[in-house]
C-alpha cells in the first residue's frame, strides 16, 4: 500500500474514567489543510470568489499562501470566521477563509495553493476551478432540483461546475501518483453514482476518444437527464441491491464519489462484491467515504462518533435527498478506515488512502485482485 502522509491524523485514547476521547494529533506544524471552493460573487454575475478555508500549523504563516494558476500567482485576502473556527477547533491550527474575486472569462481557470517563499504547490491534489463561459454553454446545466440530489448545497451553476471539474482533475492526479496511470490510459470507465453527470462531463474530456464511459445510478430521474444531454455517456439504471445486469470484468476503472457516504454497512458490502465482479482483474476502484475527520465535523460528542467507536461505522442517519420514501436505503454514513478495508480486502488490494481529500471525505484507491 502506498503510504500517504496527511497532517491531521485521527487518534483515540482513553479519557478520564476510561471514556473515549477523540482528538486529532497536533501534527499541523509547518503544514496546511485546504478545502478549496469557488462561489458566486453576490451582485456580480461575471465574477466569482475563489478560495475556501484553510487551517495552517504553527510552523507556517497564512501570509505566505498564494493562489497559483499556470505559473502566475495572486495573493488572496484572509478572512477570519469565528463560527468556522469553532467547527474546526479539533484541527488545532490557525483557521481562516481565503477570498479572491476573479472574473469569469471565455476559458476555464484552475487554481492551486502555493507557498510564495518556496514556490512549492501546497496540497498538490486539490484544485479550485473558475468555469469558463464555454463550460456554461457547451453542455446544458441541470436544474437546481437535479443538482441538489447529487451535490447538496452545491446547487448553483458555479459550484456545480467547479466541483465536477475539480473532482476530475483530482482523480487524474491521484491515479497517476498512486498507479502511474492517468485517466487517458483507461479504456473502459464506470461512473458509479453518476447522478446528472457533474463529474462525468469533465472525465469525458480527459479520456481518449476511443474510451467508453458508462454512468450508472439508482436514480432514474437524473439518468434521464444524462440520456438527453450527455449522448456520449452510456447509462445504466442499477437496482438498489446488486447484482446488476452489467457484464462482469468489463471495466478498467470504477469511480464512486460520495456513494459509500449514503449506504448502510450491509449494502456497502454487497456493492463491494459487485464492483469486484464488474472490474477486470487488476482494475482500479476509486472511492470516497466519510472518514473520521468528516465525523469530527459533526461534533466530538455526537452519536456518529459513538457509533464508530462501537461498530466502526455510523449508518443510522437518514438522508432525504432522494425523497422520504428512500430514506430506509439512502443514509448519511461515516466510518473508520480499518472498517472499510476489512470489507474490501477479500476482493481488493488497498493501494492508497488519502484522508480529507475530496471535500472532507477520504479517497480510497483499490486494485481488483487478480486471483480469488
Query: What pLDDT does 19 receive?
Result: 38
My answer on whether 251 and 346 are in the same domain is yes
Last residue of a domain, one of 129, 162, 177: 129
316 within some domain = yes
Count CB atoms within 10 A of the CB of residue 362: 23
My answer on whether 294 and 252 are in the same domain is yes
At which residue does the C-alpha cell 497564512 appear?
62
My answer on whether 118 and 142 are in the same domain is no
24 within some domain = no
Helix (H, G, I), strand (E, B) or coil at 91: helix
Domain that holds residue 75: 32-129
My answer on whether 98 and 47 are in the same domain is yes
5 within some domain = no
Last residue of a domain, one of 66, 97, 129: 129
8 within some domain = no
My answer on whether 155 and 298 are in the same domain is yes
Percent of the chain exceeding pLDDT 70 equals: 91
My answer on whether 107 and 150 are in the same domain is no
My answer on whether 107 and 180 are in the same domain is no
Please determine, for residue 1, whether its predicted confidence score (pLDDT) is greater than 70.
no
Determine the Cα–Cα distance for residues 44 and 314; give it in Å rounded to an integer. 41
Determine the Cα–Cα distance for residues 225 and 329; give it in Å rounded to an integer. 23
Residue 7 pLDDT level (bands cut at 50, 70, 90): very low
Of 344, 362, 350, nearest in space to 288 by CA: 362
My answer on whether 49 and 101 are in the same domain is yes
Total domains, the chain: 2
Tens digit of pLDDT for each residue in 275-309?
999 999 999 999 999 998 899 888 766 899 999 98
Reported pTM: 0.93
State the maximum Cα–Cα separation within the chain, in Å, rounded to a whole number: 62
Query: What pLDDT does 89 receive?
Result: 84
My answer on whether 148 and 293 are in the same domain is yes
Residue 147: CATH number of its domain: 3.40.50.150
Determine the Cα–Cα distance for residues 269 and 102; give it in Å rounded to an integer. 44
351 within some domain = yes
Helix (H, G, I), strand (E, B) or coil at 366: strand
In the chain, at which residue ranges do the beta strands (DSSP E only) sit? 10-14, 20-24, 32-41, 44-56, 65-69, 72-74, 77-79, 94-103, 109-115, 121-122, 128-130, 188-192, 212-217, 234-237, 251-256, 279-289, 313-318, 331-335, 348-358, 361-368
Query: What pLDDT does 16 receive?
Result: 34
Residue range 206-217: average pLDDT? 97
Last residue of a domain, one of 111, 129, 147: 129
Residue range 168-190: average pLDDT? 98
Of 120, 251, 253, nearest in space to 176 by CA: 253
My answer on whether 153 and 301 are in the same domain is yes
Residue 22 pLDDT level (bands cut at 50, 70, 90): very low
Q: How far is CA 7 from the centre of its chain?
A: 18
My answer on whether 113 and 243 are in the same domain is no
Q: How far is CA 122 from the centre of its chain?
A: 18
The more confidently predicted of residues 170 and 92 is 170
Contact in structure between 56 and 63 (CB atoms under 8 Å): no
25 within some domain = no
310 within some domain = yes
60 within some domain = yes
Of 353, 351, 335, nearest in space to 263 by CA: 335
Query: What pLDDT does 154 receive?
Result: 80
Amino acid at each position: 500500500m502506498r503510504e500517504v502522509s496527511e497532517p491531521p491524523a485521527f487518534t483515540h485514547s482513553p479519557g478520564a474514567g476510561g471514556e473515549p476521547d477523540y482528538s486529532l494529533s497536533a501534527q499541523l506544524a509547518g503544514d496546511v489543510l485546504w478545502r478549496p471552493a469557488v462561489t458566486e460573487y453576490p451582485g456580480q454575475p461575471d465574477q466569482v470568489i475563489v478560495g475556501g478555508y484553510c487551517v495552517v500549523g504553527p510552523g507556517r504563516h497564512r501570509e505566505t499562501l498564494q493562489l497559483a494558476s499556470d505559473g502566475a500567482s495572486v495573493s488572496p485576502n484572509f478572512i477570519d470566521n469565528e463560527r468556522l473556527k469553532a467547527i474546526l477547533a479539533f484541527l488545532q491550527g490557525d483557521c481562516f477563509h481565503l477570498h479572491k474575486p476573479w472574473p469569469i472569462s471565455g476559458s476555464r481557470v484552475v487554481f492551486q495553493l502555493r507557498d510564495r517563499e518556496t514556490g512549492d504547490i501546497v496540497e498538490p491534489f486539490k484544485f479550485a476551478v473558475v468555469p469558463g463561459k464555454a463550460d456554461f454553454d457547451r453542455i446544458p446545466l441541470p436544474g437546481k432540483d437535479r443538482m441538489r440530489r447529487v451535490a447538496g448545497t452545491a446547487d448553483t451553476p458555479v459550484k456545480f461546475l467547479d466541483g465536477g471539474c475539480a473532482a476530475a482533475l483530482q482523480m487524474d492526479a491521484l491515479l497517476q501518483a498512486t498507479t502511474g496511470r492517468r485517466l487517458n490510459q483507461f479504456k473502459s470507465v464506470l461512473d458509479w453514482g453518476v447522478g446528472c453527470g457533474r463529474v462525468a462531463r469533465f472525465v469525458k474530456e480527459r479520456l481518449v476518444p476511443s474510451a467508453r464511459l458508462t454512468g450508472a445510478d439508482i436514480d432514474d430521474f437524473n439518468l434521464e437527464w444524462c440520456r438527453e444531454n450527455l449522448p456520449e455517456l452510456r447509462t445504466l439504471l442499477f437496482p438498489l441491491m446488486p447484482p446488476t445486469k452489467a457484464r462482469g470484468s468489463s471495466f478498467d476503472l470504477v469511480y464512486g464519489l460520495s456513494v459509500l457516504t449514503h449506504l448502510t454497512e450491509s449494502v456497502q458490502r454487497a456493492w463491494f462484491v459487485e464492483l469486484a465482479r464488474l472490474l477486470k482483474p487488476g482494475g482500479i476502484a476509486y472511492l470516497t467515504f466519510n472518514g473520521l475527520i468528516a465525523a469530527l465535523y459533526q461534533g466530538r460528542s455526537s452519536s456518529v462518533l459513538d457509533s464508530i467507536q462501537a461498530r466502526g461505522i455510523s449508518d443510522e442517519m437518514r438522508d432525504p435527498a432522494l425523497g422520504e420514501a428512500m430514506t430506509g436505503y439512502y443514509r448519511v454514513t461515516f466510518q473508520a478506515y480499518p472498517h472499510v478495508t476489512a470489507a474490501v480486502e477479500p476482493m481488493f488490494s488497498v493501494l492508497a488512502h488519502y484522508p480529507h481529500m475530496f471535500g472532507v471525505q477520504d479517497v480510497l484507491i483499490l486494485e481488483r485482485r487478480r486471483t480469488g
